[in-house]
Amino acid sequence: MKRWTASILAVLLAASLGFAQTLIYGQSDLPKTLDSVDAQDGNSLRVAYQITESLVAFEPGTANIVPGLAVSWEANEDSTIWTFKLRRGVKFHDGTPFNAEAVKFNFDRWNDPNHPYRGEGKSFVPFTWVFGGFKGEGSILDRVEVVDEYTVRFHLTDSVGFFPQMLGAIYMQIDSPTAVMKNPDKYGTPEVGSVGTGPFKFKSWTIGDKVVLERNDEYWGEKAKVDTLVFRGIPEPASRLAELKAGAIHIANNLSPEDLRVIESDPNLKAVKQNGLNIGYLAIHQTHAPLDNLLVRKAIAMAVDWDAIVDAFYAGLGERATQFVPPAMWGRAEGIPPYPYDPETAKKLLAEAGYPNGFKTELWFMPVSRPYFPAPQPIAETIASYLAEVGIQVELKTEDWGTYLSDYNQGKFPLYMLGWSPDYPDPDNYLFTFFGPETIKSASGCTTEVCERIGELLFKARTEPDPEVRQELYAEVQRLVYENVIRIPVAHNNPLHATLKNVEGWVPSPLGSSENLNLVEVK
């Protein structure tokens, strides 16, 4: 009787939501902002990606670049000047035209810390991940020139051969200048939302409940197949799966790997496996003694059976990470072995460092599941138990996701779990993001000569035109990271998702949140 009642409720709920015209997406949290260049989490970026667009896009389900708001591009001989031809006849959702002036406004706003419409309290940190800094502070973007209404030219401070891929980064979404100028401080918030050129328009954002988007009937590309797109924040993977089984949502992303059999045995569900280019890691902030001691960091790396963790929590969908560039991508170093599980040697290293009885510290874990860490708290508990065996007593801590994403970069966490899904398919997007000159200081607390050397190598690699030389530079970076235990790579995961049986056209992106939900249909 209970099962019959639940089924009837699911049907009634489906009817009330207009299932044929509405797509409901269950993810681990609601956005933190829809101002994409200020967003540091996949949940925010996935929603923003439906509203706003980049000059360069990616073919659905792949990491292959294709035209977006730009239809073509070319570089000068040394790749220091890039000229982009823009798509004509495109309008923002507020009716204003998309053109070269709009592109210049956006990049100037992101690049210039003193831009009048930057917005109070906005950090735009992701811009520095891609461009190396802000104007006058290491940015490779010198200036943006409007050539004519539909031609824009980027002048760089140095040669960058993969610049189009950089512009495809999910943060580089073009917003309506008119909408930004109306309220720069609140742009991207629940009160204001965002205004782009994408297949969906912002309708509403109810804090703690849902974000609702509606189809853009004036979209220049393939129009959305549903009238309404709803995003719900459901923190626990088990809860997302339960909501899916009840018919309350159509898509549940980032489920627990062990749920694969449950999904495949349910005739109303479809399992969707994603080709992941992600990396989950344990970060070490060296401003917290004794983590500044290399012997201690080596002891931590050797105290944990990382293979056992991957076996226990990834259900055959993950693999042990040994470097920060995934196996499917170039830029890896040869001959780097995984850190061995050797608790006895770990104890000896601690004693040699002056901590024969171990020490106390904190391990912070993410409050939400992500593709690279499907079960953050249990994984953290397991890491803590291994560390305790060699005398390192860790206090487990967490906080809400938005605060976590801010605090990790401020040196608050001694040890912390985090990860990455790429924005564009190049080793630069992993290594510069993790170990660039500013990030290695803020997120790892490392100011040693080794870390300065890593930053120099990464700057050289992103301006080097010869792919073979770039390969050598990235390999050297990864050897230095490995030898000095700057961070500990844990796992690459092929995330598990699921949909209702009547959902068609959904293809997860190997780049993480760059999903083309306008192509999804509910039948």
Nearest to 92 by CA among 216, 222, 186, 189: 216
Architecture of domain 2-28+199-274+495-522: 3-Layer(aba) Sandwich (3.40)
Per-residue pLDDT tens, the chain, 523 aa: give them. Answer: 334 344 444 444 444 444 449 999 999 999 999 999 999 999 999 999 999 999 999 998 888 889 999 999 999 999 999 999 999 999 999 999 999 999 999 999 999 999 999 999 999 999 998 998 999 999 999 999 999 999 999 999 999 989 999 999 999 999 999 999 999 999 999 999 999 999 999 999 999 999 999 999 999 999 999 999 999 999 999 999 999 999 999 999 999 988 999 999 999 999 998 877 899 999 999 999 999 999 999 999 999 999 999 999 998 899 999 999 998 888 999 999 999 999 999 999 999 999 999 999 999 999 998 889 999 999 999 999 999 999 999 999 999 998 999 999 899 999 999 999 888 889 999 999 999 988 999 999 999 999 999 999 998 998 888 889 999 999 999 999 999 999 999 999 998 999 999 999 999 988 889 999 999 999 9
Query: In the structure, how many helices (H) and strands (E) does the chain have?
Result: 17, 21
Say what the pTM is. 0.81
DSSP code string of 164-206: HHHHTSTT-PBPPHHHHHH-TTTTTSTTT----SSSEEEEEEE
- Specify the amino acid at residue 440: I
Nearest to 255 by CA among 493, 436, 22: 493
Domain with CATH 3.10.105.10 in the chain: 279-493
Nearest to 24 by CA among 502, 511, 420: 502
The CA distances from residue 101 to 104, 131, 143, 156, 328, in Å, are 5, 20, 13, 18, 38
Q: Note whether 201 and 213 are within 8 A (CB).
A: yes
Domain with CATH 3.40.190.10 in the chain: 2-28+199-274+495-522
Architecture of domain 279-493: Roll (3.10)
Nearest to 237 by CA among 501, 28, 25: 28
Rounded Cα distance between 376 and 390, Å, is 22
Q: Note whether 326 and 494 are within 8 A (CB).
A: no
Domain with CATH 3.90.76.10 in the chain: 52-177
- Specify the amino acid at residue 23: L
CATH code of the domain occupying 52-177: 3.90.76.10
- Specify the amino acid at residue 313: F
